[in-house]
Chain A
Amino acid sequence: MRIKVKGRDTYVATGGKPFDAKLPTLVFIHGSGLDHRTWALQTRWFAFRGWSVIAPDLPGHSLSKGKPLTSIEAMADWIWQLLDELKVKQASLIGHSQGALVALEAASRQPARARSLSAIATGAAIPVNPQLLETAQNNRPAAVEAMLTWGFGNAYQFGKSHVPGQAPIAVGSRIMASNPLETDLQACQNYTNGEAAAALVTCPSQLILATQDKMTPLRSGLALAEKITASEITKIDAGHMLPIEAPDQCLAELRQFITRLP
């Protein structure tokens, strides 16, 4: 569906079901340079089983208009603005990579509105290699290639795909090529509030981490878990792109967590 957030045309995927503010709401937040399609194999399950799902394209990404937001804090505020537009008081926040930083920051800014937090393949910070930042600013295709080389685990580098016939690395490459990767990476690089934000999280939380993660190493995710009260940790043997590389395990972990929420 398309809605206006602060007057800007915004695309929000709803998992194949119309959005209904009366149902418990799940917000899926994508990572750097990506879009709502990250969540294709998670959102539909929830949307068809009693949840309202929203997976927006952040401003300036894929189907959403507007200038890209330049900080994780601004993205976190934007998520609540989006929920305001939809008249949603409380929501479960689910984020991947940069999206997990956004979810973490959003949960810390409005703790009463965060029903739960699911942080996938992330840490309290995502410092970006300066060379990658420079490459993203000067040669986006080269940066995309580097991101995808590091982003996908071994099996996907060998052409594995959970969707028969699809080439996920190439799909990612096409999506990232037209999105503001350099702005997103800079926002990640600049974000230093993760540990402080983690201390403010009061909702139930889970971390789903990847053992082959080269973008946000497992140890940084485990370190974040220590800062969040009562967080659950799951490790999956795959690369950084967990929602795409290990969609079934990722969904299973989200299901077992979200269906247990009070």
Chain B
Amino acid sequence: MSKASFFDPATIALHSGYQPESDHGSRAVPIYQTSSYAFQDVAHGAALFNVERGGHIYSRMTNPTVQVLEQRMAALEGGVGCVCTASGMSSLMTTFATLCSAGDHIVSAAQIYGSTATLLKSTLKRFGIETTFVDINDSAAISRAVKKNTKLVFCESIGNPGLDIADIPSLAAICRKKHVPLVVDATFATPALHNPIAHGAHIVVHSLTKWIGGGGNALGGAIIDGGNFDWGLKPEKFPTLNEPYAPFHGISFFEEFGPAALSMRIRAESMRDFGAALSPQNAFLLLQGLESLALRMPKHVENAGEVAQWLLAHDAVAWVNHPSLPSHANHDLVASLFPKGAGSILSFGVKGGRDAGAAFMDALQLATNLANVGDSRTLVLHPASTTHSRLDAKAMKAGGISEDLIRVSVGIESFRDIKNDLANGLRAAQRTQKNADQKDGRKTQQKTEQTRKQTATAKPVKKKAATKKATARKTAGKTAAGK
């Protein structure tokens, strides 16, 4: 991990990339709400276009307010550069499109956000880029999946919504051996909890919309270039960074910019051609969130841990999943990779399946049912019917998503109030389950009565067969409840 600043993270988030400007001394980062920037003269404009000098030309490529956010994200993640984009998804698409062309291949963790899976599985396929999905917990399979035309390995540091923890040091070792960059979506962790580059990752992507913004009021994404991948070692493998680029007088981005080749190519090509620019207004809102990130994340983590423990002890809850729990499959990685906590997303199953889950969701008053995470307010979602509904059953299973899974993005309200709200929801779930049980009970009673009557009029040999069937049904019911 490189240091972009020698200040501590909390200070970087407040000060990096901006000091009071000379005209008015504005202490807050100003919103440069402008599409373009006046050239001092013809020579100045020409020099900017020819990359002879740094500066702003048009806000699709760069903007001073966005730049402050970029400088801070680069510094917080230990990267050599950052490009912010309009959303987390556009950051991913931009990264993939910069490194891959038709005929190339990506290896991705199977346990990822639904829209990212769709991008990799369907959208990029249309452009001739294939993806192999592999269980993130199976390092050997990931290594085997890397092919000659593989241009990157992708994972989420904390998987959405299954919460698998990526063993980034192991994955980075595989990537170094195979000479492919490791791209990590670190949205669920934020730089306040975990820095993938420090553990060997090469590129970090964030949806800034989530915890970094924290207010749930602005979309944004960030690509942080670790500057720690040697794009020149096998130049033929990464032509976009090594071959002469005609629109810029045939420069080789690696030769010209070295460690910052990727972020410079993204800026020069993807931002110019795809245009997924972050608006200055949104950059300003995201900066407000970033400035308090170091304070908010510990509270998120503390609340999530308490909620997980409380749910675990609740009668209406079938199971709870959070990396802080010893029962979590990757719990052993948490201590080494996430000593400050493994985020504030948890998932759990409500006893009684879909209907009880729906009753739980609808009874909540503090927590909000919506398709977002990382708001300072507590949010809930049923992924199987929303964010991951476009995935088929096999992909859902591979992603660790069950029908009864409820995702909670634990906010920074008081734990007591979150707990009371969830308790209300679980009471509603229990009532629904009880009603369903009673209904089932009545049905069972009716069936038993019916069977008894039929048995009374049947021949002895048929009575034996009916008893066998009833016994089989009972056993099946127990197994299902146990599952």
Contact = CB atoms under 8 A, between A and B. Distances in A.
A178 to B, nearest CB: 9
B260 A247 contact: no
A16 B67 contact: no
A109 to B, nearest CB: 30
Contact of B4 (A35, A62, A170, A248): A170
B272 interface: no
B5 A174 contact: no
Interface in B217-267: 227-228, 232, 248-251, 255-260, 263-264, 267
Given A166-B81, A170-B79, A159 B72 contact: yes
A28 interface: no
Contacts of A165: 62, 67, 70-71, 74, 81-84, 263, 267
Interface string A25-66: 000000000010100110011001000000000000011000
B51 A44 contact: yes
B2 A41 contact: no
B133 to A, nearest CB: 31
A163 interface: yes
| Interface size bracket, B side | 35 or more
Nearest to A167: B4
A188 to B, nearest CB: 23
A40 B255 CA distance: 11
B169 to A, nearest CB: 18
A161 B53 contact: no
Given A11-B255, A159-B75, A164 B62 contact: yes
B54 A175 contact: no
B17 A160 contact: yes
A167 B75 contact: yes
A84 B54 CA distance: 33
B52 A159 contact: no
A159 B17 contact: yes
Contacts of B75: 159, 167, 170
B52 A45 contact: yes
Given A167-B74, A169-B5, A37 B17 contact: no
A173 B74 contact: no
A145 B16 CA distance: 18
A125 B254 CA distance: 33
Nearest to A145: B3
A177 to B, nearest CB: 8
Interface in B47-86: 47, 50-56, 61-62, 64, 66-67, 70-72, 74-75, 78-84
A5 interface: no
B12 interface: yes
Q: Most B CB atoms within 10 A — which of A41, A62, A157, A170?
A: A170
B261 to A, nearest CB: 10
A13 B3 contact: no
A149 interface: yes
B15 A175 contact: no
A171 interface: yes
Interface in A146-182: 148-149, 155, 157-167, 169-171, 173-175, 177
Interface string A225-262: 00000000000000000000001100100000000000
Interface centre among B4, B52, B248, B251 (most CB of A within 10 A): B52
B258 A16 contact: no
Contact of A251 (B53, B62, B251): B53
Interface in B85-128: none
A148 B6 CA distance: 9
Given A158-B17, A159-B5, A165-B82, A171 B260 contact: yes
B255 A171 contact: no
Contacts of B71: 159-161, 165, 167
Contact of B19 (A155, A164, A247): A155
A214 interface: no
Most chain A CB within 10 A, of B62, B81, B228, is at: B81
B305 to A, nearest CB: 33
Interface string A1-36: 000000000010100110000000000000000010
Contacts of B52: 41, 44-45, 48, 251
Contacts of B12: 159
Given A37-B257, A171-B81, A171-B258, A159 B16 contact: yes
Interface string B384-396: 0000000000000
Given A37-B257, A37-B258, A170 B74 contact: yes
Contacts of A155: 19
Given A148-B3, A159-B16, A13 B255 contact: yes
A235 to B, nearest CB: 19
Contacts of A163: 54
A41 B54 contact: yes
12 contacts: A16-B248, A44-B51, A45-B47, A145-B3, A158-B17, A164-B67, A165-B62, A166-B81, A167-B75, A167-B79, A170-B3, A170-B259
Closest 7 CB pairs of A and B: A159-B16, A167-B4, A162-B54, A170-B2, A174-B259, A164-B62, A165-B70
Given A45-B53, A159-B16, A166-B74, 10 more contacts: A11-B255, A16-B51, A148-B3, A158-B17, A164-B70, A167-B5, A170-B81, A171-B227, A173-B3, A175-B259
Interface of A: 11, 13, 16-17, 35, 37, 40-41, 44-45, 48, 62-63, 145, 148-149, 155, 157-167, 169-171, 173-175, 177, 247-248, 251
